[in-house]
Chains A and B, each alone.
Chain A
Amino acid sequence: QVQLQQSGPGLVKPSQTLSLTCAISGDSVSSNSAAWNWIRQSPSRGLEWLGRTYYRSKWYNDYAVSVKSRITINPDTSKNQFSLQLNSVTPEDTAVYYCAREGPGYCSGGSCYQWVDYWGQGTLVTVSS
């Protein structure tokens, strides 16, 4: 059974950096078949995918266009976890942040398709001075 445990501050000041960590149990951040995501949820934006990191013989990252200039997702193989850093936050970044796993899925025609199957517990992050 995969479990994802999030940690990090719930309050960040405007213009500063939001940092969260997701500890993985029951799987490996270095898995060749999973991907590790950050997703946020707010009343104005709904469920919004932010980005992911995954290992396929080397490390890859994909980021949403909306945050691409401000986001970094890093794996930490020594602790079997991954992290989110979102720079230059504004009150619009206030949301519940989730880490999530995309499981093995399936591959067809040279492409692979994975769905989110496990979620962290969520962290409410408020951007306010």
Chain B
Amino acid sequence: EIVMTQSPATLSVSPGERATLSCRASQSVSSNLAWYQQKPGQAPRLLIYGASTRATGIPARFSGSGSGTEFTLTISSLQSEDFAVYYCQQYNNWPLFGQGTKLEIK
């Protein structure tokens, strides 16, 4: 079974700076990788699918890259509303999520 591993578990970044979040799959998932943002008390929100395609309405400061087993979500200039938990998810067969990265204000 595929295992999705995200790093780091917590990332502290100042507003206006760049944040880089990583996701690794234990075996290749091609580009079948999505990223979600979750704020307290809310459902996850789709940010990226196909490893690098922004979902409708997602700001351009969010970008995704990678294929195979290594993936990255980059937020180019952090806004206050971006501090949240981020999950990667592979969809090669059924939805399988990473354990999340908490992005907190430094």
What residues make up the interface of A, taking CB atoms closer than 8 Å to B? 37, 39, 46-49, 52, 62, 64, 98, 100, 102, 105, 113-117, 119-122
Task: Enumerate chain B residues within 8 angstroms of A52, measured Cβ to Cβ.
Answer: 94
| Chain B interface, number of residues (Cβ within 8 angstroms) | 22
B62 sits at the interface (CB 8 A): no
Give me the interface of B with A, judged by CB distance under 8 Å.
Answer: 32, 34, 36, 42-46, 49-50, 55, 87, 89, 91-92, 94-100
Total number of residue pairs linking A and B with CB closer than 8 Å: 53
Complex CA distance for A114 and B95, rounded to whole angstroms? 9
- How distant is B41 from chain A, measured CB to nearest CB, in Å? 8
State whether A113 touches B46 (Cβ < 8 A).
Answer: no
With contact pairs A117-B46, A119-B44 given, residues A49 and B99 touching in the complex (Cβ less than 8 Å): no
From A49, A98, A117, B96 is in contact (CB under 8 Å) with A49
